[in-house]
Amino acid sequence: MEFKHKPVLLDECIEGLNIKPDGIYIDGTLGGAGHSKEILKKLSGNGLLIGIDRDIDALKAAKEKLKEFSNVMFVKDNHDNIKLILEKLGIEKVDGILLDLGVSSYQLDERNRGFSYLGENELDMRMDRLQTLTAKQVINDYSEEELANIIYEYGEERFSRQIAKNICEYRKHQEIRTTKQLVEIIEKSIPKSKQNDGHPAKRTFQAIRIEVNDEIKPLYKTVGNCIDCLNNQGRLCIITFHSLEDRAVKNAMLDAKGKCTCPSDLPYCVCGAKSLGSIINRKPIIANKKEQDENSRSKSAKLRIFEKI
C-alpha cells in the first residue's frame, strides 16, 4: 500500500518553525514526509533536514517521496532518543524540531498492522515492528486491573472496567488474537444506548496503541531534551491529538519557560528562576474549519510552539 498521510496544520507548522535557509531541522515523526517536503523547500543547499521515524515502512516511503532532495538524512529511531541521535551524527544543536505525534493515516489504513478496529486482523499495533511488545500481548497478558487503568487513562473510556473484565473472561477460554475479537468484546461491554460517540472500540484501541508504543510516559522528558538540542532562537513545534499528550507538552514548555516566584514588590529576582525561552502561542493552535472538513484527523490536533532563548 502507498504511504499516504495528509500533513496536519502544515502552514502553521512551517510558519512556526521560522525556517532559516541554511539551518538544520529535524522532523522527528517523518511519516508520509508531508511536513518534511515543505521544510526542504524552504532550505538552501546548505541547509539540512534530519528525518526520524521508528516505522521502517515510513522511512522507505519518505526516501522515495524526498528523492529530489540531497540535503536530507534518514534515521530509523524514536524521537525520544533525540540527544543520542544527534550525538551519533556529530551534530550539537539544530535550528528547529517538529513532532507530529500519534498514529499515521497509513498505519490505520494498513489493516495488517492491527491499528484499526475495522475488519479482522492480527492484534499488533507496533509502530516499530522490531519491538517485542504487541497489542496481542497486552490484551492477553496484562491483569484486569492493568487493562482497566490503561483503557481509562489513555482512552478516557468510562466503561473501562467492564471492558477489562470481559476481556479477562473471554481469554479464559481462548486467546484473543484478532481485532475483530476485541471489537466484539468491547461492543458487548458498552450499553447500546451509550454507543453514540463514534465507533465504540475507538477509545480502547487508542489506549492499547498508546501502551504498546509507550507514547505518553517519555513525552515530558522528550520535550525538554528537544529544547536542549536547539540553537538560540531555535523553534520546537509539537502537534498532539490526545489530552494527555497535550498536557505533557504544555507542562514541559511551561517549566522550560520558567516562572519567577518572587514577591511583586522586590526590585529584582532573587528566587533564581531560569528561563530557557518563550512559548510562542499562549493557547494551542487548532485547524481552521476548512482543514477540519477536509481532514477529520485534524479536528483533535493542537499545535504548541516554543522558542529557545
First to last CA, the chain: 43
Domain ranges of the chain: 10-102+216-308, 113-213
User: Phi and psi dihedrals of 11, rounded to 5?
Assistant: -60, -40
Q: For residue 120, give the 3-state DSSP assignment.
A: coil
**Cβ–Cβ under 8 Å, residues 163 and 204:** yes
User: pTM for this structure?
Assistant: 0.90
Q: What pLDDT does 74 receive?
A: 98
Give the class (CATH, top level) of 113-213: mainly alpha
Q: What pLDDT does 1 receive?
A: 47
String of DSSP letters for 166-180: HHHHHHTTS---BHH
* Residues in the chain with pLDDT values less than 70: 1-5, 105-106, 108-109, 111
pLDDT per position as a tens digit, 141-165: 999 999 999 999 999 999 999 999 9
pLDDT per position as a tens digit, 127-142: 998 999 999 999 999 9
Beta strand extents in the chain (DSSP E only): 24-27, 48-53, 72-76, 94-100, 230-240, 277-279, 302-308
Q: What pLDDT does 164 receive?
A: 98
Q: What pLDDT does 80 receive?
A: 96
| C-alpha distances out from residue 184 to 54, 138, 240, 256, 294, Å | 31, 17, 29, 45, 31
Q: Do 113-213 and 10-102+216-308 have the same topology in CATH?
A: no
CATH among 3.40.50.150, 3.40.50.10470, 3.40.50.300, 3.40.30.10 for 10-102+216-308? 3.40.50.150
User: Phi and psi dihedrals of 170, rounded to 5?
Assistant: -65, -45
**Cβ–Cβ under 8 Å, residues 35 and 27:** yes
**Can you tell me which residue has the cell 514541559?**
252
Q: What pLDDT does 271 receive?
A: 75
Q: In terms of DSSP bridges, do strands 48-53 and 72-76 run parallel, antiparallel, or are they unpaired? A: parallel
